[in-house]
Amino acid sequence: MIISNLIRQKSYEKIEYLLRRHPITFLPSFLIFLLMLAVPVVVYLLINNLYPNILDPLTSKILFPLATLSASIYYLGTCLFFYFRFIEFYLDIWIVTNDRIVSINQKGLFSQTISEMDLYRIQDVTVVVNGFFPSIFKYGDVQIKTASQNIKIIFKNVPKPNEIREALIQLSDEDRKHHNS
Amino acid sequence: MFEISLYIFLFIYFGFLAIFFIFSILNFYHIVVTASFTLASFIVSFFVFSLATLILYATWYLLINVDWQTAVPLFNYEWFNGILIF
Percentage of the residues of chain A whose pLDDT score is greater than 70:
98
Q: Within a domain: residue B36?
A: yes
Question: Does the pTM exceed 0.90?
Answer: no
Q: Can you tell me the mean pLDDT for B70-86?
A: 74
Q: Within a domain: residue B16?
A: yes
Predicted confidence (pLDDT) at residue B62 exceeds the cutoff of 70: yes
Q: Can you tell me the mean pLDDT for A91-98?
A: 93
- Condensed to tens digits (0 to 9), the pLDDT of residues A98-107 reads 999 999 998 8
Q: Give backbone dihedrals phi and psi of A146, rounded to 5 degrees, phi first.
A: -95, 180
Mind telling me how many Å the CA of A148 is from chain B's nearest CA? 30
Which structural domain, as residue segments, surrounds residue B33?
A: 2-65
Mind telling me how many Å the CA of B83 is from chain A's nearest CA? 25
Total count of domains within chain B:
1
Mind telling me how many Å the CA of A179 is from chain B's nearest CA? 30
Mean pLDDT of chain A: 90
Q: Give backbone dihedrals phi and psi of A117, rounded to 5 degrees, phi first.
A: -145, 130
Are B55 and A76 an interchain contact pair (Cβ–Cβ within 8 Å)? Answer: yes
- Condensed to tens digits (0 to 9), the pLDDT of residues A107-134 reads 888 888 999 989 988 988 999 999 999 9
Q: Within a domain: residue B84?
A: no
Q: Within a domain: residue B70?
A: no
What is residue A8's predicted lDDT score, i.e. its pLDDT? 84
B48 close contact with A: CB closer than 8 A: yes
With beta carbons less than 8 A apart as the criterion, state whether A37 and A78 touch.
yes
Are A69 and B72 an interchain contact pair (Cβ–Cβ within 8 Å)? Answer: no
What is residue B85's predicted lDDT score, i.e. its pLDDT? 63
Q: Within a domain: residue B24?
A: yes
A69 close contact with B: CB closer than 8 A: yes
Residue B27's pLDDT band, with cuts at 50, 70 and 90, is very high
- Condensed to tens digits (0 to 9), the pLDDT of residues A23-69 reads 999 999 999 999 999 999 999 999 988 888 787 777 788 889 999 99
In this predicted model, which residue has the larger pLDDT, A58 or A75?
A75
Are B6 and A77 an interchain contact pair (Cβ–Cβ within 8 Å)? Answer: no
Q: What is the ipTM of this complex?
A: 0.87
d(CA B27, CA B7) in angstroms, rounded, equals 30
Predicted confidence (pLDDT) at residue B82 exceeds the cutoff of 90: no
Q: Within a domain: residue B14?
A: yes
Q: Within a domain: residue B72?
A: no
Task: Look at the alpha carbons of B49, B54, B58, B61 in this order and tell me if their dihedral is positive or negative.
Answer: positive
Predicted confidence (pLDDT) at residue B84 exceeds the cutoff of 70: no
Q: Note the CATH number of domain A91-180.
A: 2.30.29.30
Q: Within a domain: residue B86?
A: no
What is residue A1's predicted lDDT score, i.e. its pLDDT? 65
A93-97: strand order across its sheet: A15-19, A93-97, A100-106, A112-118
